[in-house]
């Protein structure tokens, strides 16, 4: 019997490897899920056509309705990929998308949005990446789903796709409102 122990250990290891093959070791779950959205107060990006927006906005401004927080930047390749879909979402209405421009030059992002359109309700500026750290951002784009009572319900890492939105985000928006 004891001569079969190595075989048993191998079996257990192989089973774990088989499960491991289906996981991506690089995707991190956020410890913020279910917790209150981190307090933030960020300057608002001034855009040419906007009518005198507030200089800065914080958590309070968005309370009462579920919303998305999308960390993006003009230098980020994944953001270009998801941008058309965000435009589509914005056109459909139904959910507010708060953009957080992460470690980006204002001039760059204005130019970037002028070329591609602006899906964001307001765009907040996180120039030094501090807000990113508070949200646990480790690579843009990342999208957070925030409930009406200000809790983070879900985090999507990487470009947001229609499938991911339908599967992970949409049900949460319904539940919160």
Partner 1 sequence: MIPELGHFALILALGIAFLQTVAPLVGYRRRDAKLLAFAGSAAQAQFFCIAFAYACLTISFVNTDFSVAYVAQNAHTDLPNVYRFSAVWGAHEGSLLLWMLMLSGWTFAVSVFNRRIPAELSALVIAVLGVISVGLLLFMLLTSNPFDRLFPVPLQGRDLNPLLQDFGLTIHPPMLYMGYVGFSVAFAFAVAALITGKLDAAWARWTRPWTTTAWMFLTLGITLGSWWAYNELGWGGWWFWDPVENASFMPWLTGTALIHSLAVTEKRGLLKSWTVLLAILTFSLSLLGTFLVRSGVIVSVHSFASDPARGLFILIFMAVITGAALTLYAFRAPKLASVGELHLFSREGLLLLNNVFLVVACAAILIGTLYPLVIDALNLGKISVGPPYFNAIFLPLMVPLFVLVGFGAVVPWKKGKAGETWQRLKLPALFAVAFAIVVPLALHGRATLLAVTGGLLGAWTIVAASQDVWRRIRAKPSFIAGLASVPRATWGMTLAHAGLGVWALGVAFVISYGYEKDVRLAPNATTEIGDFTFGFVGAQEAKGPNFIAQQGEVTIERGDHSVTTLYPQKRFYPSQRNVMTESAVDATLMRDLYVSLGEGFDDGSWSLRIYVKPMIRLIWLGGVLMFLGGCLAASDKRYRLARAADRKLALDGGTQAA
Partner 2 sequence: MKRLVAALFAGLLLAAHAQVTVEKPEIPLSVEQEARLAELLPDLRCLVCQNESLAESRAPLALDLKYEVRELVASGKSPTEIKRYLTDRYGDFVLFRPPFDARTWLLWLGPFALVLVALLVLLRQIRGGKRELAATNPKAVDKAALKKLLEEAK
> 114 is in the binding site of which of partner 1, partner 2, none (Cβ under 5 to 8 A by kind)?
none
Asked if 144 contacts 169 with a C-beta cutoff of 8 angstroms, the reply is no
2-41 footprint of partner 1 as x/- string (CB under 8 A): -xx-xx--xx-xx-xxxxxxxx-xx-xx------------
Q: Which does 98 bind (CB under 5 to 8 A by kind): partner 1, partner 2, none?
A: none
Distances, alpha carbon 1 to alpha carbons 12, 15, 81, in Å: 17, 21, 57
Binding-residue total with partner 1 (CB under 8 A) = 20
- Is residue 107 close enough to count as binding partner 1 by CB under 8 A? no
Q: Are strands 152-157 and 142-146 parallel, antiparallel or unpaired?
A: antiparallel
Nearest approach in angstroms of CB 122 to partner 1 is 33
Alpha-carbon gap, residue 86 to 120, rounded angstroms = 8
Do the beta carbons of residue 107 and residue 74 sit within 8 Å?
Answer: no
The contact set with partner 1 (CB under 8 A) reads 3-4, 6-7, 10-11, 13-14, 16-23, 25-26, 28-29
């Amino acid at each position: 019997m004891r001569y079969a122990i190595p075989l048993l250990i191998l079996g257990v290891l192989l089973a774990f490897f088989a499960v491991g093959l289906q996981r991506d070791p690089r995707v991190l779950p956020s410890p913020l899920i279910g917790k209150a959205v981190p307090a933030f107060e960020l300057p608002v990006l001034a855009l040419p056509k906007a009518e005198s927006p507030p200089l800065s906005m914080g958590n309070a401004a968005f309370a009462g309705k579920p919303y998305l927080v999308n960390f993006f930047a003009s230098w980020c390749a994944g953001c270009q990929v998801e941008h058309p879909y965000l435009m589509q979402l914005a056109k459909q209405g139904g959910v507010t998308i708060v953009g957080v421009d992460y470690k980006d030059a204002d001039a760059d992002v204005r130019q970037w949005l002028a070329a591609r359109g602006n899906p964001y309700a307001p765009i907040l500026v996180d120039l030094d990446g501090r807000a990113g750290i508070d949200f646990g951002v480790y690579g843009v784009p990342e999208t957070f789903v925030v409930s009406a009572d200000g809790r983070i319900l879900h985090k999507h890492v990487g470009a947001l796709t229609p499938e991911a939105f339908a599967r992970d985000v949409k049900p949460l928006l319904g539940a919160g409102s």
